[in-house]
Chain A
Amino acid sequence: MNTDLQKEFADYTKNLNAAGKDERIKTALTRAVHAYRSTVDETLQRFPHTPELAAEVRELKAEAVIKRDDLLRQAMESVERNKGKAFYAADKQAALALAREIIGKGKVVVKGKSMLGEELHLREDLEEYGNEVWETDLGEFILQLKHDRPMHILSPAIHVPREQVAEIFSKFFGKEVPPDIAQEVAVVKEFMRDKFFQADVGISGANVVAADTGAMVMIENEGNVRLATAAPPVHIVFVGVEKIVPTFQDAMKVAEVTWRYAQYGVPGYVSIITGPSKTGDIEKVTTYGAHGPKEFVVIFVDNGRSTMATEPEFSAALHCLRCGGCMYECPVFQVTAGHFGHTYLGGIGTVWTAFVAGGMEKAAPLAYTCLRCGRCVERCPMQINIPAMVGELRKRIVNGEGLGKEEVSQEEAS
């Protein structure tokens, strides 16, 4: 087989160069990088135990990759024991098929921010199937209206200034919304409030999952995840299998390290959800769907993660907590934002693009964009060696080698 990547490179380069000349991106990123560094520096001083905790998390994440099959089984059993429903989706198609089957058509869906959602194009697929789907995270909502993709995993609309937000909102709401951030926030709150309570289904991701208890841990500031997971009668969690750790205690460690490096300082909300809403207040008879969802569903998605786990050169990329710290430190990301990326962004995103969302063809231009300068590793609480992984990817690209154990499976097949 022969794949001509020259057009892929040419298109990507054109887009990247345009981003590199976009003053809005540079201004927004310069502010964001400054804010990120000062918040993280300050909170690391306030909570000096964090690096040590990060070291513990590195160990337990590495262990979790090894025990991934057991942990998945255990997590699914825990969800079922808690009267939730647990599903496993081997790939994107399977995950979307489950979503369509469970949700159906003609429903109103409210959704929290999720990189897995981006990876699956979950909102677009559910809309195509005939549902009304709302991104409830403010940044994601702006991008939904703008028909744009996230430019940072935690601050998806990092590249859109208030003036542009005002234009987008004025058009959508059919009334003049001034370029005033407080008023922009208020107008969305008013609109979304109804959607939360009208919705048939709420969708969220999870930052970490505890296998022993089946606890889904979600970190946020806006409160939209709280509402989206509590108000509708059905709550569906889409979560990557790499997010599972053995115990509840482990999950708390992962959560704290995640939010510290994700610039939350101390997050506004941490939700821990283990099952459907229930009450036993009348005659001690357990009844489901008290104030919260009556149905609780967890879809564990693999979609290339197990392949990554089997590759010693890349398995550590599964330790990624999605704190986004590396992106702020990346000199290319600082001038191009998520244009250095496909669905997943920056250096770590290059590896995830290769295995999970895009494949080698999409990953190749990204792999050669990376400077391999290594500052991301200095920031990364998991110390993921991105430059080494990018080097390995380049080697496979020039040699035309694939990913995973393809050769073995071919031998097995014959």
Chain B
Amino acid sequence: MAVEMKLPPVLDIIRSNIVKYGNPLALKGGEVAAWAKSLNLPAQGELLFYTGGEYQLLPYIDTLVKTMTKVDQASKGFSLLMGVRNVLDKAGINAEKMYASVLAKDKERYNTVCYKAAVILRQLGYELSYSGEHELYSGALLYELGYWDDLRAYAPKVANVIAQSGAKTIVCLSPHAAEVFKYVYPKLLPDFAFEIKTFVELVWEKRDLLPQVDYAAPVVIHDSCRLARELGIDEQLRDILTSVGVQQREALRNRKWTTCCGGPNKLLFPEISHEVAERRVNELTHTEAETILTSCPYCLSALENGNAANAGVEDLIEFLYRGVKP
């Protein structure tokens, strides 16, 4: 017997935003692709650069979380507030107004991550294509949150956009996208036969060509759970940093034993998520490294939030770009 369970509204909001708008927070395609304007990446090619809009939505996630922390999710007010986001197109309300508190510098920073990643890969000799404003979010959160039926219906749309690029290989900036494309999509779509790579893997393959990064202080890698445990990518990050001539420290819990940043339950349990993040930052700064590096948008955002220690927190992309002169 099916029992309909009424869950906290944030889950359904994320779900319907993905299904309706192709993005967990209903960001517009043009907004998600704004970073690419000056690069003139072709829409077609064998190697598809895939952002999934994930770095771009980070500043908005934090605003959403801050709103949720202040408002009782079980209250009518919260449902109404989130409902506004949900019926965005019908009501004709500008999402930007609701997220007016998003800091311009955060927007700038996270949008630029995609730009920097594309520049680095191109400098290493990769020819990238990009779906631009047509690009759709992978749907990893549908899988994560239990909306598998929705993913089944949504995945063909994503696959269709990808197929139009004529790609053979997809390079994902987010390990979450890489995971869902690599392990879940082939089960839903038998024809989904693309080679799935992460940014880290492509860089690692041509690491000898990377420009040196002029950074004297030691850094520490925060292995993302998805990258280290699901995709088995850990040593590659160390190799890359060695190639660019940077000193590394190792946290006590690293590689397959890495501690989660707390990001995954941020939407429902923001306070616990914050505690977990703070403890992870402490584990990492205990090494006396000055900068924490990670290669996952959610880790980046969570560790920034938990960064009471005021360490530097950067995505590997941002860090490598320090050595790039475009």
Contact = CB atoms under 8 A, between A and B. Distances in A.
Interface of A: 1-7, 9-10, 13, 16-17, 20-21, 331-332, 334-336, 360-361, 364, 368-375, 377-378, 391, 393-402, 406, 410
Interface string B227-244: 001100000000000000
A399 B268 CA distance: 19
B109 interface: no
B100 interface: no
B105 to A, nearest CB: 29
29 contacts: A3-B5, A3-B6, A5-B8, A6-B8, A9-B8, A13-B268, A20-B271, A331-B259, A331-B276, A331-B280, A332-B276, A334-B276, A369-B269, A371-B263, A371-B265, A371-B276, A372-B144, A373-B264, A377-B229, A378-B257, A391-B146, A394-B145, A394-B146, A395-B146, A396-B146, A399-B2, A400-B5, A402-B2, A402-B3
B261 to A, nearest CB: 9
A4 B6 contact: yes
Given A331-B279, A398-B147, A400-B5, 7 more contacts: A1-B4, A6-B7, A9-B7, A20-B271, A364-B7, A374-B229, A402-B1
Contact of A375 (B149, B259, B268, B271): B259
Q: Is the interface of A mostly helix, strand, loop or mixed?
A: helix
Contacts of B144: 372, 391, 394
B35 interface: no
B224 to A, nearest CB: 10
A369 B143 CA distance: 16
B148 interface: yes
A37 to B, nearest CB: 9
A154 B229 CA distance: 27
Given A400-B4, A400-B5, A334 B230 contact: no
B272 A17 contact: yes
A332 B229 contact: no
Contacts of A16: 269, 272
B222 to A, nearest CB: 12
B260 A373 contact: yes
A6 B146 contact: no
B258 interface: yes
B104 interface: no
B7 A20 contact: no
Contacts of A391: 143-144, 146
B271 A1 contact: no
Contacts of B8: 5-6, 9
B18 interface: no
Of B7, B144, B276, which is in contact with the most chain A CB atoms at under 10 Å from its CB?
B7
Contacts of B268: 9, 13, 368-369
Nearest to B147: A398
Given A2-B3, A371-B264, A374-B229, A334 B279 contact: yes
Contacts of B279: 331, 334-335
Contacts, number: 134
B275 interface: yes
Interface string B170-191: 0000000000000000000000
Nearest to A335: B275
A369 to B, nearest CB: 6
A361 B3 CA distance: 10
A24 to B, nearest CB: 14
Nearest to A401: B2
Nearest to A6: B74
Interface residues of B, number: 40
Of B4, B74, B146, B257, which is in contact with the most chain A CB atoms at under 10 Å from its CB?
B146
A375 B7 CA distance: 27
Contacts of A2: 3-4, 6
Contact of A395 (B148, B225, B230): B148
Contacts of A5: 5-8
B11 interface: yes
A386 to B, nearest CB: 12
B225 A13 contact: no
A374 B225 contact: yes
Contacts of B265: 332, 368-371
Contacts of B259: 331, 373, 375
B141 to A, nearest CB: 11
Nearest to B6: A4
A104 to B, nearest CB: 39
Contacts of B262: 331, 371
A391 to B, nearest CB: 7
A1 to B, nearest CB: 5
Contacts of B280: 331
B74 A364 contact: no
Nearest to A399: B149
Contact of B272 (A20, A394, A400, A402): A20
B305 interface: no
A302 B280 CA distance: 40
Given A370-B265, A371-B262, A3 B74 contact: no
B72 interface: yes
Nearest to B267: A368
Contacts of B11: 368, 398
B225 A400 contact: no
Nearest to B271: A17
Nearest to B278: A335
A400 B1 CA distance: 8
A371 B147 CA distance: 16
Nearest to A372: B264
B256 interface: yes
A16 to B, nearest CB: 6
